[in-house]
Structure 1
């Protein structure tokens, strides 16, 4: 014998009467089920069964994000990919904390199908936060009882110490790239430009003085990599769009690069693949993938016999060395395109060994009897 419970659960979205039917093996189970459903209806917490899948829930949530940039949408899509690939066909109401815990474990150990490398806290925590946003949205709509992602423990982020070049290392690397075809790109990196700003820089935004090594460059484009795909967008923030004066050395390097590109275009003729727009391109005129530029940088550091720091750390080096030379934080912030000088101070200004030794020497002068 089976026991059936039928409960009025208000009205559906189309205004029709909604009834909930459940079957149980025993009378006691039926009574408990009736009490639970009735209580949920009264409290407004009852959630009707739904066949909505994890894949459809993610797709619907992304479709509802109307005011985000294409690059942000691509980043969200990439972050949700592991969940959708593993549990996309599952009813979202069946998704549990255990499912997400196992997903996190597999991502951190690199065991997910097709995974090239293990994910770190920097990737996993944003993924969990996005999953939580998807589920919380369904809770608000009354389509889900609770957000199980909220109960998944986030990974502890390791304390990251930003590494920067010393003055001597900067000189050594720049000396090494004096005749490098991409020497101007590395000068731009050590002048504080982001990787995306270097890849997106156009000749129309570079004003060079014909009579002397001087000029300006305007950061107006950003060419970034999201999930391995290249996206072109406006600068990161309003303050990121900025015009900077060129040092004589950087102006000279840019002039040389422009002349070299013109010679390459002439030599290849119809086989030249570029349109002459970008500042940093290969010898056939094609813009580099941002990740390729990072690969070249790693090789360059080894060849120049300096520490292998990230390409983005060249930007940190610029800020730290400016600070060591006494440039005010507000000016460094404007140069880097930051909205908040306090952020510049917290994030980019570091005391290197040379500066610490100088500080120690200064202290010694104070405490040494005359």
Structure 2
């Protein structure tokens, strides 16, 4: 028989090399260009596996992901280290917002911070959510696997480490695979050629996390964490955002508390003789607490009859910080009624008298909301004084921010357009309708009468 004229095609060999250690251990290695360094040079990584089949499988997966731009380089950065760096880099948010981010992520850092970021799993976040909601830890399978856990415990019992021969004699081929996984996770180090030791004598103790928190608090934690992991995904540090896979608890929407117009008028009459009457009128006008406490006398224009919202004072980390308003829409100029301007003028006169009585010890802050000694009023103090006035006036003790809801509701119920109401409040019109669109019982009754073709002023006469 004549030979086949076309030579048989040989399969292109994959660049996997066999390595035999001095102790006889066999492993399979390959190198792959995984990207480019900042200086423009190639970044090559070596990968080692105990069997040829596993090396081939991983070589194909890694090269495919590198070509597609989805390969995630191995990185030992922990959850705590990454989140701390992410928080420090958030220069695009206000200090009070950043403080809220730190508070929301604290349970994650405290409970899961020692885990390498690339090893964070949905099951661990699920357990943290359950812990936060119920206040009790959830038993879960060791993420290392049974054999890896046994190998790690065996090494921890040997402070000087163990040789490969000792490890192989104790666990066989399964121990060799477990060592590979533990070294990739940073749990095991190689202090010398052919010797292995545990990286830590024991797992770090995770501090207790307070439980019994609301669903809204848990959802806030997951939302902020998801934002941080989105950035990690964009940087190529993780393959997916595991926080987006966690089922979030349902938030029960609660109706916001508001005053009726009669209750608002009763409170207004009660505080008419108070030293801070002008500030309470501004609060009744729908200004935020931060806006009232950040208002300066230079922002009050008596000639034009307006006040300008140009800054706010908020609580951050136990202190107060003065900065820009909450949003771009929050910076606005509002025409004030004559009684509000009159109260501001009287308060300015009273402060001048207090300044004269105190002498040179009066601090020149330029703020409207100051104490009798000229020091700025702390936000917490303002809220506590408001609660005391509510009780004294005989009106429901609502949150200070709920007075803003009351103002919005009164504006909308009085016929003010949503766009004008939103501009007054410094909000987006859609948000104004969704958040502040409360109506009173009388308005609801009138709406029902209108649908039935009736008028409450006429009676039950059908149109």
Q: TM-score, normalised by structure 2?
A: 0.68
Query: Structure 2 residue aligned with 1:345, among 416, 420, 433?
Result: 433
Partner of 1:84: 109
Query: Structure 1 residue aligned with 2:31, among 1, 5, 8?
Result: 8
Partner of 2:379: 290
Give the SS at the match of 2:74.
Answer: coil
1:53 aligns with 2:146: no
1:20 aligns with 2:39: no
C-alpha contact 1:132 1:147 (8 A) present in aligned 2: yes
Query: Structure 1 residue aligned with 2:257, among 118, 139, 163?
Result: 163
1:221 aligns with 2:311: yes
Q: How far off is 1:202 after superposition?
A: 0.6
Partner of 2:370: 281
C-alpha contact 1:224 1:290 (8 A) present in aligned 2: yes
Task: Tell me, in whole angstroms, the C-alpha distance in 2 between the residues paired with 1:231 and 1:282.
Answer: 17
Partner of 1:315: 404
Root mean square deviation of aligned Cα: 3.1
Q: How far off is 1:249 after superposition?
A: 2.3
Task: Go from structure 1 to structure 2 and tell me whether the alpha carbon gap of 1:17 and 1:235 turns closer, same or farther (over 3 Å shift).
Answer: closer
1:177 aligns with 2:271: yes
Unaligned runs of 5+ in 1: none
Structure 1 residues 60-93: Cα deviation after superposition (integer angstroms, max 9, x where no partner) = 3345545444444443333323322333333212
Equivalent positions of 1:180-195 (< 5 A) are 180-195=274-289
Structure 1 residues 211-246: Cα deviation after superposition (integer angstroms, max 9, x where no partner) = xxx932111112223555533222233332222222
Higher RCO (CA 8 Å, separation ≥ 6 residues): 1
Task: Tell me, in whole angstroms, the C-alpha distance in 2 between the residues paired with 1:110 and 1:48.
Answer: 36
C-alpha contact 1:107 1:119 (8 A) present in aligned 2: yes
Task: Tell me, in whole angstroms, the C-alpha distance in 1 between the residues paired with 2:349 and 2:44.
Answer: 76
Task: Tell me, in whole angstroms, the C-alpha distance in 2 between the residues paired with 1:4 and 1:145.
Answer: 27
Query: Structure 2 residue aligned with 1:36, among 58, 66, 73?
Result: 58
Give the SS at the match of 2:416.
Answer: coil
C-alpha contact 2:110 2:207 (8 A) present in aligned 1: no
Equivalent positions of 1:88-237 (< 5 A) are 88-109=113-134, 119-208=213-302, 215-226=305-316, 228-237=318-327
C-alpha contact 1:223 1:231 (8 A) present in aligned 2: yes
1:300 aligns with 2:393: no
Structure 1 residues 271-330: Cα deviation after superposition (integer angstroms, max 9, x where no partner) = 43x324111122222222323322322232222221122211111211221233333333
Partner of 2:157: none
Q: How far off is 1:52 after superposition?
A: 0.9
Number of aligned positions between the proteins? 359
Q: TM-score, normalised by structure 1?
A: 0.84
Equivalent positions of 1:328-339 (< 5 A) are 328-338=417-427
Task: Tell me, in whole angstroms, the C-alpha distance in 2 between the residues paired with 1:170 and 1:131.
Answer: 40
Task: Go from structure 1 to structure 2 and tell me whether the alpha carbon gap of 1:33 and 1:224 turns closer, same or farther (over 3 Å shift).
Answer: farther
Unaligned runs of 5+ in 2: 1-23, 137-205
C-alpha contact 1:76 1:130 (8 A) present in aligned 2: yes
Task: Go from structure 1 to structure 2 and tell me whether the alpha carbon gap of 1:66 and 1:33 turns closer, same or farther (over 3 Å shift).
Answer: farther
C-alpha contact 1:53 1:92 (8 A) present in aligned 2: yes
C-alpha contact 2:312 2:324 (8 A) present in aligned 1: yes
Give the SS at the match of 1:177.
Answer: helix
1:264 aligns with 2:358: no
Task: Tell me, in whole angstroms, the C-alpha distance in 2 between the residues paired with 1:115 and 1:202.
Answer: 42
Q: How far off is 1:41 after superposition?
A: 3.1
Residue range with higher mean Cα deviation, 71-80 or 104-113? 104-113
